[in-house]
Amino acid sequence: MTSPDQSRFALPQRLLHWLMAICILAMLFIGVGMVSTITPKYLTLLSIHKPLGIAILLLAILRIGMRVRYGAPTLPAGLPEPIKLSARLSHYFLYALMVMMPLIGWGMLSAAGYPVIVAGVQLPAILPISDILHTLLWNLHFYLAFAFFALILIHTAAALFHALIRRDGVFQTMTP
């Protein structure tokens, strides 16, 4: 899906990237914060976590659509192949997590038998009530959140490596 003549991501892709970066980082901090407190902040954070998750799901679908439509700039020719491969793979993992985490959360609430209320709107249950499914999805939601954050840290370090050390224009492909 790469178009060789393209030196930067398309403007809507760049704007969406930074909007989602804010949303996803907020989401991960809210997530670990809310499960570590019993104060009324718990309910406030939870009431942000759910609609923000659905928003990220919708934005991720839009983003993947744009990626298909506009493609991505090619990586510099001088970049070693293993780095190129890990760059590509890490981006696919990030896209996958953006879509999967909200769906896992939604499925987890469904399997627990909770009404899924998002910003006052009730969403349908997407899975039957089940201890086994709930436990599986809960564990996935929990551990993938840390994997997601770790991947974002690596992504950030790699972006800064391109910006500050290699200075090869890769960082500029995504600057707004």
Partner 1 sequence: MKPETPLDMRHSAGAIAAIMTVVLLSGAAFAYSAGWVSPRRLTPAKLVASLAPPTGSALGHRRNHAKGICFTGHFEANGIGRTLSHALVFNAGQYPVVGRFNTATADPNSSDGIQRVRGIGLKISTPDGREWRTAMIDAPFFPVSTPQAFYELQIASKSTNPDAMKEFTAHHPEITHFGAWAKSAAWTGSYAEEQYNALNAFRFLDSSGGSHTVRWSLVPRSNVTAVPPEELAKRDPDFLETEITQRVSVSPIQWDLVITVAEPEDPTTDPSKMWPDTRRTINVGTLVVNRIEPERDGPCRDVNFDPTVLPPGITTSGDPFPAARSAAYSRSFNSRTAEYKYYPRSMSVDTSERAHP
Using CB under 8 A, which of 29, 62, 88, 119 touches partner 1?
29
Element (H, E) at 39: none
Give dist(CA 23, CA 134) in Å, integer. 25
Q: Calculate the CA 107 to chain-centre distance.
A: 17
CB of 102 to partner 1, least distance (A): 18
Using DSSP's 3-state secondary structure scheme, residue 83 falls into helix
Which residues from 114-143 bind partner 1, rule CB under 8 A? 114-115, 120, 122, 129, 131-132, 134-135, 138-139
Stretch that binds partner 1, among 29-37, 50-58, 67-75, 91-99 (CB under 8 A): 29-37
Closest of 170, 140, 143 to residue 157, by C-alpha: 170
Helix (H) or strand (E) holding 132: helix 131-160
Residue 28 as a binder of partner 1 (CB under 8 A): the answer is yes
Judged by the rule CB under 8 A, the positions of this chain that interact with partner 1 are 28-29, 32-33, 35-43, 78, 112-115, 120, 122, 129, 131-132, 134-135, 138-139, 149, 153, 156-157, 160-161, 164-165
